[in-house]
Amino acid sequence: MAEQKFCYIKTFGCQMNEHDSEKMLEVLKSSDYYPTDNLLQADLILLNTCSIREKVEQKVYSTLGRLKGLKKKNPSLIIGVGGCMAQQEGEKLFQKVPFINIVFGTQSINKLSELVKTVEEKNNKVVDISFNGFHSLTLIPKLPQQVKAYVSIMQGCNNHCSYCVVPSVRGEERSRCKEEILQEITSLAERGVKEVTLLGQNVNSYGKDCNGRVDFPSLLSSINEIKGIERIRFITSHPKDLSPQLIYSFRELNKLCEHIHLPIQSGSSSVLKRMNRQYTREEYLDKIDKLREVSPEMSITSDIIVGFPGETEEEFLETLSVLEKVEFDDLFSFKYSDRPGVKATTLPDKVDERVKAERLWRLQNFQKKYTLMKNTKLEGKTVEILAEGLSEKDPQRLTGRTRNNKVVNFAGNIELRGCLVSVLIKRAFLHSLEGELISTLH
Ligand code: SAH
Ligand code: SF4
Ligand code: F3S
């Protein structure tokens, strides 16, 4: 048997990257590399990077800085940089960080074993950032007790929002074949997975590149039929592609959870225009009304960018007023960041860093009351939770989520992992809820 070697992966960025890291580990098993959480035990260290904002990139560089010493002590250690920043920088990364061995892009994951082998044998540097189409890997969970899984249904993005690097680092939209997706989910269900989260930069344009043969609502409806799967989620949706059929799916499909992440980015139509988002404030609000008509308890979360070039105080106030109108369950908010090669970088009237920081603070503070209000509404209610395992913060207790994606911690036996249980909500906090186990559903 070949010698067992260890690979340590650090992931930056979104769920696609988390899922890609799982794929990397799967690919590397074929060359006898096994996962480790111990950096010092690693023969191979991979950073799966993100380039969405400058701050994330800086984090990657500072992590690389810390690896320099390890490489000095152990020159046979192989260090690889993959993901979106690697895709963006390519060979230039070797100049910036001379001690790394491999640079591999977002579509080169299936070539990872070959790349590592080349470095092992020739002790040189390799780069692969080619766009070679869809890398399709059916993943089989490693842990027998895995309750939830990500399933990639499409890659890339054709939207070209003016601030965003994703289209350039992930390429054109490519939908994965429906049969393959259904097969993967069926095999996950057979291994005990109860909840799937469908992944894509813009899941609701799934199938647009398949000549009308398939669309997102019909994919959801087929997944709803898969035995063993109890819950379906998806991220991320683009407001312009949120069709009436998709909205009705929330009523029709019993396994589709009542939560949608629908990034608005700004509450001002003029800013949205400069962002090239292709919807107005009013159109967004109208879709929210329709979602709530179909599913009044639906939880809605969003992304917001503050300080987009030219954003005036009035435009920012329009964003605050959307928070008041929609009452989002939670919000992910960011200061606008210039990115190489994207349109917004060339726009005039950049907003001062101090103003951006102040707007972000005001926005986040304003949202807090709505997040807490939504959580508090659940106090005294009995809800369905999928028990996921022990809580990381409090290993004495179990953790799980409501159908509308709120984290609930409660006392219970670990044998309940993977079961749907009924929990009475006792207390609400900003980021989680505390509950009491009432009964096991199944
Ligand atoms: N595909 C998803 C978002 C992917 S990026 C969508 O379209 O909604 C995640 C979030 O990062 C975006 O929603 C946006 O809010 C933020 N973001 C992207 N580019 C950014 C930039 N240049 N500066 C600040 N935030 C940015
Ligand atoms: Fe970026 Fe816009 Fe595509 Fe989302 S939809 S990934 S924000 S270009
Ligand atoms: Fe970042 Fe790439 Fe995701 S840029 S947000 S890791 S698609």
What are the pLDDT digits (tens) for 353-374? 999 999 999 999 999 999 999 9
What are the pLDDT digits (tens) for 278-324? 999 999 999 999 999 999 989 999 999 999 999 999 999 999 999 99
Cα of 155 vs centre of ligand 3, distance in Å, is 11
Cα-only R_g, the chain: 22
Residue type for position 69: G
Residues 6 or more apart from 286 whose CB is under 8 A from it? none
Strand partners, 334: 305
Among 27-31, 90-94, 112-116, 233-237, whose mean pLDDT is lowest? 27-31
Cα of 334 vs centre of ligand 1, distance in Å, is 8
Q: Verify whether ligand 2 is closer than 6 Å to residue 264 (CB atom).
A: no
State the pLDDT at residue 394.
84
Using CA positions, which residue lies closest to atom 1 of ligand 3? 50
- Identify the three-state secondary structure at position 169: helix
Ligand 3 atom at minimal distance to the Cα of residue 106: 2
Pairing relationship of beta strands 398-401 and 407-410 according to DSSP bridges: antiparallel
Cβ–Cβ contacts within 10 Å for residue 310, how many?
Answer: 15
Ligand 3 atom at minimal distance to the Cα of residue 85: 4
* N- to C-terminal Cα separation, the chain: 42
Q: What is the pTM of this model?
A: 0.95
What are the pLDDT digits (tens) for 187-207? 999 999 999 999 999 999 999
Q: Is the pLDDT of residue 60 over 80?
A: yes
Ligand 2 atom at minimal distance to the Cα of residue 164: 1
State the pLDDT at residue 145.
77
Q: Verify whether ligand 1 is closer than 6 Å to residue 339 (CB atom).
A: yes
Q: Is the pLDDT of residue 269 over 70?
A: yes
Cα of 47 vs centre of ligand 3, distance in Å, is 13
Nearest-CA neighbor of 235 among 15, 3, 9?
Answer: 15
Residues 6 or more apart from 235 whose CB is under 8 A from it? 15, 197, 198, 199, 200, 203, 261
Of the ligands numbered here, which is closest to the C-alpha atom of 332? 1
State the pLDDT at residue 134.
57
What are the pLDDT digits (tens) for 150-169? 999 999 999 999 999 999 99
Using CA positions, which residue lies closest to atom 5 of ligand 2? 159
Q: Verify whether ligand 1 is closer than 6 Å to residue 308 (CB atom).
A: no
Q: Which two tokens stand for residue 258?
A: 């009542």
Q: Verify whether ligand 2 is closer than 6 Å to residue 419 (CB atom).
A: no
